A and B are shown apart, each in its own frame.
Chain A
Amino acid sequence: MTHERDLERLLDTWLADGPLVVADRVIDDMAGRIAHQRQRPAWRLQPWRFPTMSTPIKLVLVGAALVAAVLGTSVLIGGGGQGLGTIPAPSPRPTVTPPATPALTSSAAPSPGPSALTEAARGPGTFVGAPFDGKPLTWTVTLPAGWSGAASWAVVGPPTPLPEPVIVLIAETWSIPADSCDAAGTVPATTPDEFLSALAKRRDWKPTSPVATTLAGFPAKRVTFELPTDVTVCGGSSDNYIVFAEALDGTGFYAQGSSNRWTVWVLDVAGRAPVYVARDSFPGTPAAQLSAADTIVESIVITP
């Protein structure tokens, strides 16, 4: 038949046949689903930059941001904070009734009680968020000046000249895809070891060996890895390069840019699937901002 007719004309005609109208219930159901779906903040795709500012203004702003980060770090550490992995109270608290006002790990909290962690949250201050829809778990986090909330599950550092500012976030139902360009079917890890095993297979990310530690009073394993210099291999955009698979449909948390570095704390919160605290950075991230981010991680209180 293809020798007698033009294939392109056949395809035009054949594909024009078929249903053209979608059932109303499909859109109605979609409307119901988005009512339970958070919108991701724009910063994931729209990093702060200074496209229209002169170099001196950029330098002043970057300097101010760094000073703010250093000051914020000093305030937080001033209370006698300890390094990550040496936080006391190692026993998990799965059955402890949450206090009306979650306890803070820093004595320098500027407000009497935490405010809600939303995109409007601005440091310095202590904020509490319910990061997982429909679940009672909350996390409390103390931010220095210059840091802000990005969602109930993420905070973000001050602007830098880098591709993206530093992020600290909390997550669940993660796994590491075998193929970052096709994460569909990646099953969320049910134990920390499952997650770490999947990560260990990503030799292209050069993951470090897991280090046993504690975070927010829960046993944890900390691991660090770095994405390749080219994360646009999946269709020309880093937005397609999945780092942490979140759902079986292949969606997840994608690369924030080239050579994106991640430190992940995989928490064993008794009685539930792993909880992840993650901090990203880039090779050129200022040390002061990394230090501020680590202090923020150290400030986290998780109430299951």
Chain B
Amino acid sequence: MDRELLAAAQRGDEAAFVDLIRARSNRLFATAQRILRDIDRAEDALQDALVIAWRDLRGLRDPDRFDAWLTKLVVHVCIAQATRERRRTANLRVLPIDGPAAPDELLTIADRDLLERGFRRLTPDQRAILVLHHFLGYAPSEIADTLGIPVGTARSRLFHAHRAMRAALDADARVALPGGRSA
């Protein structure tokens, strides 16, 4: 069914494209929101990525790659948007956390706050890699495919993203505790 919709969309059928997207929009939005940490900007990024997808849809040669291709577009738009935002807000304090502060038995509010602030200190590329790996469950080979980088580079970047996150958390924890002690 999706193949028929995709073929129709590639012939210019807007309704078919919208049907294809509705079935995937929640996952794409959730991915964008986790990279950008902001609902409004995630909505904007998702829309921009989907308009690009519509524009370039005829160039998609392999229908089986549609989902991966869409994810790639969303991630790239998010990275671009986060990069611009990072330049503008480099010297500003981090924004308030978006989304419902759902209670989580495993994470305390303090943990969530530390994670949020630590994550926002990462580069957009590092954020995207962590979301692809921890939220979408991508293996390094899939991350490499999505970001257009070699698998070895994906593994290396994932390692460095983890290390950066750990460093950001430790730095925040030291600031949070009196006397400069590490948490």
Q: Which residues of A are interface residues toward B (Cβ below 8 A)?
A: 1-3, 7-8, 10-23, 26-27, 29-31, 33-35, 37-42, 44-46, 182, 184-185, 234-237, 239-240, 249-251
Please indicate the chain A residues that have their CB under 8 angstroms from the CB of B39 in the complex.
19
Taking a contact as CB atoms under 8 Å apart, the answer to whether B54 and A11 are in contact is no
Shortest distance from the beta carbon of A135 to any chain B beta carbon, whole Å? 18
B107, A10: Cβ atoms under 8 Å?
Answer: yes
Nearest-neighbor residue (CB-CB) of B99 within chain A = A18
Question: What DSSP secondary structure best describes chain A's contact surface?
Answer: loop
Considering the complex, give the chain B residue whose CB is closest to the CB of A39. B58
Is the CB–CB distance between A15 and B50 below 8 Å?
A: no
Please give 12 more A-B residue pairs, beta carbons under 8 A apart, in addition to A35-B14, A39-B58: A3-B182, A15-B135, A21-B29, A33-B47, A34-B51, A39-B12, A40-B56, A40-B58, A46-B59, A46-B61, A235-B148, A249-B80
* Of listed B83, B134, B149, B150, residue having the most chain A CB within 10 A: B134
B134 touches which of A15, A41, A239 (Cβ 8 Å) = A15
C-alpha gap A34/B180 in the complex (Å) = 54
Task: Provide the residues of chain A in CB contact with B12, threshold 8 Å.
Answer: 39
Contact present for B54 and A184 (CB under 8 Å)? no
Q: How many chain B residues touch the partner (CB < 8 A)? A: 61
Q: Which of A11, A17, A45, A236 contacts B102 (CB 8 A)?
A: A17
Q: What CA separation (Å) do A240 and B56 show in the bound complex?
A: 12
B183 touching A1, Cβ below 8 Å: yes
A15-B131, A31-B18, A46-B61 known; A26 vs B55 contact (CB < 8 Å): no
The answer to whether A240 touches B148 (Cβ under 8 A) is yes
Distance between B20 CB and nearest chain A CB, rounded to angstroms: 11
Instruction: Mark each residue of chain B from 1 to 37: 1 if its CB lies under 8 Å from any CB of chain A, else 0.
Output: 0000000001010100110011001101110011000
A255 to B80, CA, bound (A): 19
The verdict on A13 contacting B59 (CB below 8 Å), with A7-B162, A26-B29, A251-B52 known, is no
* A249:B107 contact, CB within 8 angstroms: no
Q: How far is the CB of A294 from chain B (nearest CB, A)?
A: 27
Residues of A within 8 A of B61 (CB): 45-46
* Known contacts A26-B43, A37-B51, A40-B56, A184 near B106 by CB under 8 Å: no
- Indicate with 1 or 0, residue by residue over B143-183, a CB within 8 angstroms of chain A CB atoms: 00001111000000000001001100110010000000011
